[in-house]
Structure 1
Amino acid sequence: MKKYDFIIAGGGMAGLSLAYYFTQSPLRDRSILILDQELKNSNDRTWCFWERSQGPANPFEAILFRSWNTVSFHGTSFAGPLDMGHYRYKMLRGIDFYNFLQNELAKYPTIERKQATINRIKDTPQGGFVIANDEPYIADYVFDSTFLLKLDQPENHNLLQHFKGWVITTEKACFNPEQPEIMDFRIDQQGDCRFVYILPFTQKTALVEFTLFNENLLTEAEYDTQLRQYISLFLDTGAYEINETEYGVIPMSDVETQEILSEHIVRIGTSGGYTKASTGYTFQRTQRYLQSIVRNINQTGKPQRPVSWFKKRFKLYDSIFLNVLEKHRHPADDIFTRVYTKNIRRVFTFLDEDTRFIDELRLFATMPFMPFLRAFFDVLRRKITN
């Protein structure tokens, strides 16, 4: 049985990114095995994220599909463009990401990739042990992005962000390529948080995506109906053709996660708690956390990421927000309207968890007081009594 320095269980966004960051560090000569049951050769998803214009260089900047410095928002009391200030909104297609990283990783003969179904992962005194397609593998560290979170615990808030989108080409020029619509709440909310966002490629081509935050998935026909209704009511497309379809489900849960599971096993990506519970955003947080892991292994030989106790306050904020949504304490479309229109200079920094406490208090002051206060006490009760 061959032993590797690192085994990466799951070759999706988190796994491929981690392997890439190893190649960009003094650890580039370590032996790495990447295991995944899929080939990652299709455009199966789109990642959108914001980033400071003058921050550290993004390794994926050259393969971005689109980038914008202004976005549009349509809420309960505001409709129009939002100036993102020092931030830009960026779109990265899955197929471009996979192709780029697979080409980069192919330059390193110490990196192996195998298409396999992972049967078991466990810790042993000799290292992290993986069985895939009934074959055994072992490594100093196993980085696992395949573990499924338990999303049914009563002390937690367990919503889902689920969405379906179409890339459409229209008869009429109805899109503004310079301005994506990040949230449009004009659709019937039906007691949930429901919105459409539009990522324009040209005046006649865009990704139109219907998104919900709640506990229950819809049927395929229901997603399609919502998309057709939105296009019919709010876009002057003329005839249109559906070129691509994407569908996804992201957990919005404050379930406790274990990033460092044991001496030789580390969970990464959503499995390691990298998805922000209140928004479902994962891409940028994953990149940031993985780079920290690689730095720490290089400097100390250990993967632990240092996280200050004060930084953990953001988990409380996430739980409170999820409680407001779960209990329908205030209309979600109004909450998001307040967040984006009254806090545009700080909201992206806040969602990146880089704000000062005084800035967080200013943002909270724009929210409806009693619904969030009730949510705060309910969060404390659930954590104590369960």
Structure 2
Amino acid sequence: MKKYDFIIAGGGMAGLSLAYYLLQSPLRDRSILILDREPKSQNDRTWCFWERGPLTTQTDQSEGLLTRSQPFESILFRTWKSISFHGTTYSGMLDMGPYQYKMLRSIDFYAFMEAELAKWPTIERKQATIQRIKDTPQGGFVIADDEPYIANYVFDSTFALKLDQPENHNLLQHFKGWVITTSTPCFDPKRPEIMDFRVDQQGDCRFMYVLPFDEKTALIEYTLFNSTLLLDQEYDTELRKYIDQFIETGGYQIRETEYGVIPMSDEPTQENPSEHIVRIGTSGGFTKPSTGYTFHRTQRCLQDIVQCLVETGKPQRTVPWFKRRFKLYDSIFLNVLEKRRHPADDIFTRVYTENPQRVFTFLDEDTRFSEEIQLFATMPFWPFLKAFFAVLRRKIAG
């Protein structure tokens, strides 16, 4: 049985990104096996995220270290320098400062990765269903389609969180979107709407995205933060209602459909459950619990892991103790949503309109504590205070 340096279990966004960063580092000569149960040949999702202006440095060859990079600038489907928001007391543009709002289609990402990975003879890719992953004294052990594989390290994006433990908050971000083409020009290509709360909230957090491609084409997406998925026709009903009420299409055609569910959970995750196994992506806790944002955070975490491998030979990254305060913030916000302590549309209106630029830095977990206090001061006091003590009680009891 051949032993690999690295096995990547799951060839989705996290697994492929990790392979890319390994190949951009001094570890590019290591043997890598990527296992995934299906080919990546369809546009099965769209990633949207905000990010500061593009960086140019990727690898410092003199030091042999991987630096922060934004390698997917060339394949972004759209980039916007300003965004629109429609809340309870404000409707208009938001000041993003140095940030840009970016949209990446999965089909473009997969094609990019296919071309990049094909350049390296050290990469093997196999289509197989992973049945078991375990640690052994000899390394990480994987069984896929009844075939055994072993590596110095296995990077696993297939591990499923429980999402049902009572001591944790376990909400879902679920959404359905249509790419529509309209008969009349009705979209401003320079003005995406990241949150439009002019939909029936039904006691939850519900909003629409409108991401224009051109004057006649846009992705319209209905998104909910709660614990219960809808029937397929319920998403369709809300999409039609919103388009008919707020967009003068002159008639439209549905070109594409996408659907997704992202966990919004503060369930503790083990990024390093054993010596030779590392969990990545949602499995490793890379999804931000309070927003469901995954793509940008995953890229940052994976670059840190590769950096650790280059510097120490081990993939165990260290998160500073004080940085863990953001997990508490996430839990508090999830508690406010779960217990419906305050209307979510008003919370988001306050956080976005009263914290220009700062909110994006905060959600990226790059703020100083003094800036966080300023942001918290704009939130409804009593609901968040009650949530704070509820979180403490739940964690102590758990």
**TM-score (ref. length: structure 2):** 0.96
Q: Deviations over 1:181-219 (max 9, x none)?
A: 000000000000000001100000000000000000001
2:9 equivalent to 1:9 = yes
> Which residue pairs with 1:310 in the alignment?
322
SS in 1 for 2:171: strand
Paired position in structure 2 for 1:20: 20
Structure 1 CA distance for aligned equivalents of residues 363 and 279 of structure 2: 22
* Aligned mates of 1:55, 1:333 — CA distance in 2: 34
How big is the shift at 1:82?
1.0
Residues 253-284 of structure 1 deviation map (CA, whole Å, 9 limit, x = unaligned): 00000000100000000000000000000111
Instruction: Quote the residue 2:151 is aligned against.
Output: 139
Q: 2:336 & 2:40 partners in 1: Cα distance?
A: 37
Give the match's secondary structure for 1:275: coil
- Say what the alpha-carbon RMSD is for the aligned residues: 0.7
Could you tell me how far apart the structure 2 residues matched to 1:312 and 1:326 are? 22
- Structure 1 CA distance, aligned partners of 2:39 and 2:211? 27
Using the TM superposition, name which of 369-378 and 53-62 deviates more: 53-62
Q: Which amino acid aligns with 1:36?
A: D
> For residues 53 and 18 of structure 2, what CA distance do their matches in structure 1 show?
24
- Secondary structure in 2 matching 1:62: helix
In structure 1, what is the equivalent of residue 234 of structure 2? 222
| Count of residue correspondences | 386
User: Within 5 A, what are the aligned runs for 1:98-177?
Assistant: 98-177=110-189
Structure 1 position 361 matched with structure 2 position 373:
yes
Matches within 5 A, 1:192-341: 192-341=204-353
- Whether 1:178 and 2:197 are equivalent positions in the alignment is no
Q: Distance in 1 between matches of 2:315 and 2:2?
A: 22
Q: Quick check: 1:370 aligned with 2:393?
A: no
Q: What CA distance in whole angstroms lies between the structure 1 residues aligned with 2:95 and 2:268? A: 35
SS at match of 1:201: strand
Q: Counterpart amino acid of 1:48?
A: C
2:114 maps to amino acid: Q
TM-superposed deviation, 1:83: 2.1
What percentage of aligned pairs have identical amino acids?
77
Cα distance in 2 between the residues matched to 1:114 and 1:54 = 33
Counterparts of residues 49-128 of structure 1 (less than 5 Å)? 49-53=49-53, 55=55, 57-128=69-140
Shift of residue 54, structure 1, vs aligned partner: 5.5
Distance 2:28 2:234 in 1: 47
Give, in angstroms, the shift of residue 153 of structure 1. 0.2
C-alpha displacement at 1:55, in angstroms?
4.4
Structure 2 distance, partners of 1:216, 1:339, is: 25
Corresponding residue number in structure 1 for 2:43: 43
Q: Report the CA distance between 1:238 and its aligned residue.
A: 1.2
What stretches of structure 2 of length at least 5 have no aligned partner?
57-68
Q: Report Cα offsets for 1:149-199 as digits up to 9, x if no partner.
A: 010000000000000000000011111100100000000000000000011
Structure 1 residue identity aligned to 2:160: L
Aligned to 2:63: none
Secondary structure in structure 2 of the residue aligned to 1:317: helix
CA contact (8 A) 1:71 1:82 kept: yes
Cα deviation per residue 1:41-83 (whole Å; 9 max; x = unaligned)? 1000000111111645410000000000100000000001112
Q: 1:343 aligns with which of 340, 344, 355?
A: 355
Q: What is the distance in 2 between the residues matched to 1:241 and 1:112? A: 41
Q: Match of 1:382?
A: 394
Query: 1:162 is paired with a residue of what secondary structure?
Result: strand
User: Which amino acid counterpart does residue 64 of structure 1 have in structure 2?
Assistant: L
- The one-letter amino acid paired with 1:43 is N
Alignment partner of 2:214: what SS? coil
Q: Quick one: distance in 1 between partners of 2:101 and 2:357?
A: 14
The CA deviation at 1:345 is 2.1
Stretches of 4+ moved more than 3 A in 1? Answer: 54-57
User: SS at the partner of 2:116?
Assistant: helix
Distance 1:293 1:46 in 2: 25
In 1, the alpha carbon distance for the partners of 2:133 and 2:283 equals 13
Q: What SS does the corresponding residue of 1:318 show, helix, strand or coil?
A: helix
Distance, in Å, in 1 between the alignment partners of 2:397 and 2:27 is 46
Is the contact between residue 69 and residue 83 of structure 1 (CA under 8 Å) also seen in structure 2? no
1:127-168 Cα offsets, whole Å, 9 max, x none, are 000000000000000000000001000000000000000000
State the AA in 2 paired with 1:65. Answer: F
